[in-house]
Structure 1
Amino acid sequence: MPAIAFLECVRCHHQVSAATPQTLCPLCAGSLYVRYDMDALKQTAHRDSPAQYAAASPASLGMWRYKDVLPDVTPVTLGEGWTPMLQSKRYPGLYIKEEGANPTGTFKARGLGLAVTMAKHYGLEHLAVPSAGNAAGALAAYAAAAGIAAHIFMPQDVPLANYLEGIVYGADVTMVDGLISDCARLVGENIKAQKAANTPANQVWFDISTLKEPFRVEGKKTMGYELVEQLGWTYPDAVFYPTGGGVGLIGMWKAFEEMEQLGWVSGKRPKMYALQASGCAPMATAYEQGKDVSTFFENAATFAAGLRVPKPYGDAIILEIVRESGGKALAYPDETLLASLLDWAKHEGIFLSPEGAAATAAYDALIAGGDLKTTDKVVLFNTGAGLKYTDMTADAMHLKRPGTLPKSMPVGGIITPV
């Protein structure tokens, strides 16, 4: 496992030591990327051949399979990563990366698994996060595994599963009447107050927010390594990614850069599609208007809770990646997301998260419009298990639990004729 050479600001390229915990660039408040000595890694890091991948034992799988390109630390792991790549039954070129197979049921396990690992490495005792839901559940789980206190701020209307996770894992949970932006403000205010009160350093919360520390990107980048390896160390034509904070998309682009430097993959990088809901579409709006940054999306509302991020901190990075790759940022209304969710459940046997349905809705629309062919090799991310959203999806379907169930039920029961 490599030592970190330095942390580099994505905006001004200022270099910072990774010897102590870091948040943002001290010069311009840009996000920090982890950088390694790539020349040295070329001599020590090795990829598996497609044949080795096919015969890989379960013990060699998981996110830490890529330890050669991750920090040299002892992992706090719950078995995250190496999620299934499912080929569509209807579209020969389409593969669904099923991130719902991760611990806590979403891709957030990757980023928080790495971030909490580094927090333990640094000796941090208190971690705080504003979350649209799933990051909170992942932080609560990994903090519990690491013996670190977790302080979580979530909108009060997140899926019930997210609230339950925080409580079950023993986190300090605060429900907020507002959006993730309001939660972020409260985290910042608490940390500022703690410092003003001369709270002992080991008791001050460390903000582990999206792109406000360097290591969630490192965990998320493993999705890029995985999808390339699972395709025999080749790039797909396009990647469809549901985008709230956008760390997954950013992490994959970093992974592609690293793999190319190591000689692990070559050719044209995939077009990157950032998918959103019309009820909260800052990236799609900025892309359509030709802007380099997004504008705060007022009155954000969508049942795809993970997409309800009115202004991502990494908006400029996301837009740059989308445009450089030749992709797009697109948004669709909740009605379209729900219709796609139900269609894919019925015809593919996959219960998408509402966020994942933003990606399938976009794929269906681009196929119908002729922008894509069914033979184009596309990897589409379902970022979370649909079962984590049972209350949200049921509400969107206007579905209620039956009032009274019989104590015993004949074959066929209440769903099919007796």
Structure 2
Amino acid sequence: MPAIAYLECALCFHRLPADTPQTLCPIDAGSLYVRYDMDALRKTARREHAAALAAASPASLGMWRYADVLPDAAPVTLGEGWTPMIHSRRYPGLFVKEEGANPTGTFKARGLAMAVTMAKHYGLRHLAVPSAGNAAGALAAYAAAGQIAAHIFMPKDVPFANYLEGVLYGSAVTMVDGLISDCARMVGERIKQQRESGVAAEDVWFDISTLKEPFRVEGKKTMGYELVEQLGWEYPDAVFYPTGGGVGLIGMWKAFEEMEQLGWVSGKRPRMYALQASGCAPVAKAYDEGNSASEFFANAETFAAGLRVPKPYGDRLILDIVRASGGSVVASDDAAILASILDWAKHEGLFLSPEGAAATVAYDTLLASGEIKPGERVVLFNTGAGLKYTDVVAEAMHLRRPGSLPTSLPVGGIITPV
């Protein structure tokens, strides 16, 4: 695993050392990228090493197979990464990257595994996160594995599974009557209060919000390495990515840059499509209007909880990537998203998350318009297991449990004596 050469602002390219924990660029509050000595890596890192490492070490079967391009630290791992690439039964060129196979059932496991790994490496004792739901569940699990205290702030109407995860793993959970933006404000206020009241430095919470620390991107970038390796070290024509905070899209673009520098892949990068829900579509609105950044999306409402981010911190980066790649941003309404969940369950055997279904709806839309050609190779991300959303999907379907449950059940039968 390589040493970090420095951290670099994604906006102004200011460099910072990585020997102590860092949050944002002190000059313009830009997000920080982890940078390595690529000249040295070209001499030592080989793409074949990923498979060899995975074959030799069970701990490297997941995203840690890419240890050659991840920070030098002892992993806090639950087996995240190397998720299935499923070929659609109906669309010849379409592949679904099933991130629901990760620990805690979503792609968030990748970013939080890396963030908690580095928090433990730095000796941090308290981690805090505002979350639309799944990042909270992932932080709770990895913080428990790393024996670090986790402080979670979530909107009170997140899927119940997310609340259960926080409580189950032993995190301090605060449910907020508002959106993720309100949760973020509360985390910032709490940290400010701690510093002003003289709390010992080691007990002040460290904010690992989306793009406000450098290592969640490093975990998410492994999706880019994986999809290229799983396609025979070739780029697809397009990538469809559900975009709330956008870290996965940003991380994959960073992975493509690194792989090209290492000589692991060549050719034209894929067109990147960012998918949103029309009830919360700040990036889609900014894209359509030709703006370089988004505005706060008022009255955000969608049952795709992970897309309910009214003002992504990385909006400039997302828009830059989409435009540079020749892709676009597509927003779909909740009715279409629900219809796609039902369609894919019935015809493909996949229970998509609402976020993943935002991608399938967009694929159908662009296929019908001719922007996507039937023979093009497209990777679509289902960012979470649909089973984590049983309550919100059932509510959207107006589905209720039939009949009434018995108040007690007999114990016995074939397992134990009656």
Give TM-score scaled by structure 2 length. Answer: 0.95
State the match for 1:140 in structure 2.
Answer: 140
State the match for 1:123 in structure 2.
Answer: 123
How far apart are residue 80 of structure 1 and its match? 0.2
How far apart are residue 335 of structure 1 and its match? 0.1
In the alignment, the residues of structure 1 paired with residue 188 and residue 164 of structure 2 have an alpha-carbon distance, to the nearest angstrom, of 24
Q: Give the letter for the 2:330 counterpart.
A: L
How far apart are residue 83 of structure 1 and its match? 0.1
How far apart are residue 404 of structure 1 and its match? 2.2
In the alignment, the residues of structure 2 paired with residue 303 and residue 57 of structure 1 have an alpha-carbon distance, to the nearest angstrom, of 43
Task: Within 5 Å, give how 1:184-223 maps onto structure 2.
Answer: 184-223=184-223
Residues paired across the two proteins, number: 406
How far apart are residue 57 of structure 1 and its match? 7.3
Task: Within 5 Å, give how 1:279-298 maps onto structure 2.
Answer: 279-298=279-298
State the match for 1:398 in structure 2.
Answer: 398
How far does the alpha carbon of each residue in 1:184-203 deviate from its partner, in whole angstroms, 9 at most, with x for none? Answer: 00000000000000100110
SS of 1:48's equivalent?
helix
How far apart are residue 403 of structure 1 and its match? 2.6
SS of 1:153's equivalent?
strand
Task: Within 5 Å, give how 1:183-332 maps onto structure 2.
Answer: 183-332=183-332
How far does the alpha carbon of each residue in 1:32-61 deviate from its partner, in whole angstroms, 9 at most, with x for none? Answer: 0000000000011111289x68x9578352
Q: Give the letter for the 1:215 counterpart.
A: F
In the alignment, the residues of structure 2 paired with residue 212 and residue 72 of structure 1 have an alpha-carbon distance, to the nearest angstrom, of 21
State the match for 1:374 in structure 2.
Answer: 374
State the match for 2:65 in structure 1.
Answer: 65
SS of 1:22's equivalent?
coil
How far does the alpha carbon of each residue in 1:325-373 deviate from its partner, in whole angstroms, 9 at most, with x for none? Answer: 0000010100000001100010000000000000000001111122112
How far apart are residue 206 of structure 1 and its match? 0.2
Give TM-score scaled by structure 1 length. Answer: 0.95
In the alignment, the residues of structure 1 paired with residue 191 and residue 210 of structure 2 have an alpha-carbon distance, to the nearest angstrom, of 16
In the alignment, the residues of structure 2 paired with residue 44 and residue 243 of structure 1 have an alpha-carbon distance, to the nearest angstrom, of 34
In the alignment, the residues of structure 2 paired with residue 299 and residue 352 of structure 1 have an alpha-carbon distance, to the nearest angstrom, of 25
State the match for 2:106 in structure 1.
Answer: 106
In the alignment, the residues of structure 1 paired with residue 57 and residue 129 of structure 2 have an alpha-carbon distance, to the nearest angstrom, of 32
SS of 2:48's equivalent?
coil
Q: Give the letter for the 1:94 counterpart.
A: L
State the match for 1:416 in structure 2.
Answer: none
In the alignment, the residues of structure 2 paired with residue 327 and residue 367 of structure 1 have an alpha-carbon distance, to the nearest angstrom, of 13
State the match for 2:79 in structure 1.
Answer: 79
State the match for 1:412 in structure 2.
Answer: none
In the alignment, the residues of structure 1 paired with residue 106 and residue 57 of structure 2 have an alpha-carbon distance, to the nearest angstrom, of 20
How far apart are residue 85 of structure 1 and its match? 0.2
How far does the alpha carbon of each residue in 1:173-227 deviate from its partner, in whole angstroms, 9 at most, with x for none? Answer: 0000000000000000000000000100110000000000000000000000000
In the alignment, the residues of structure 2 paired with residue 56 and residue 284 of structure 1 have an alpha-carbon distance, to the nearest angstrom, of 42
SS of 1:127's equivalent?
strand
State the match for 2:89 in structure 1.
Answer: 89
- 1:39 matches 2:39: yes
State the match for 2:354 in structure 1.
Answer: 354
How far apart are residue 291 of structure 1 and its match? 0.4
State the match for 2:416 in structure 1.
Answer: none
In the alignment, the residues of structure 2 paired with residue 144 and residue 278 of structure 1 have an alpha-carbon distance, to the nearest angstrom, of 36
Q: Give the letter for the 2:46 counterpart.
A: H
Superposition misfits of 4+ residues, deviation over 6 angstroms: none
In the alignment, the residues of structure 1 paired with residue 151 and residue 289 of structure 2 have an alpha-carbon distance, to the nearest angstrom, of 37
In the alignment, the residues of structure 2 paired with residue 187 and residue 71 of structure 1 have an alpha-carbon distance, to the nearest angstrom, of 27
State the match for 2:23 in structure 1.
Answer: 23
SS of 2:47's equivalent?
coil
CA RMSD across the alignment: 1.5
In the alignment, the residues of structure 2 paired with residue 19 and residue 140 of structure 1 have an alpha-carbon distance, to the nearest angstrom, of 25
How far does the alpha carbon of each residue in 1:145-178 deviate from its partner, in whole angstroms, 9 at most, with x for none? Answer: 0000000000000000000000000000000000
In the alignment, the residues of structure 2 paired with residue 126 and residue 387 of structure 1 have an alpha-carbon distance, to the nearest angstrom, of 30
In the alignment, the residues of structure 2 paired with residue 58 and residue 123 of structure 1 have an alpha-carbon distance, to the nearest angstrom, of 26
Higher mean alpha-carbon deviation, 257-266 vs 361-370, is at 361-370
State the match for 1:413 in structure 2.
Answer: none
In the alignment, the residues of structure 1 paired with residue 90 and residue 57 of structure 2 have an alpha-carbon distance, to the nearest angstrom, of 29
Change (3 A) 1:405 1:171: closer
In the alignment, the residues of structure 2 paired with residue 106 and residue 71 of structure 1 have an alpha-carbon distance, to the nearest angstrom, of 22
State the match for 1:174 in structure 2.
Answer: 174
In the alignment, the residues of structure 2 paired with residue 369 and residue 138 of structure 1 have an alpha-carbon distance, to the nearest angstrom, of 37
State the match for 2:343 in structure 1.
Answer: 343
Percent identity of the aligned residues? 77
State the match for 2:412 in structure 1.
Answer: none
In the alignment, the residues of structure 2 paired with residue 56 and residue 340 of structure 1 have an alpha-carbon distance, to the nearest angstrom, of 37
Q: Give the letter for the 2:266 counterpart.
A: S
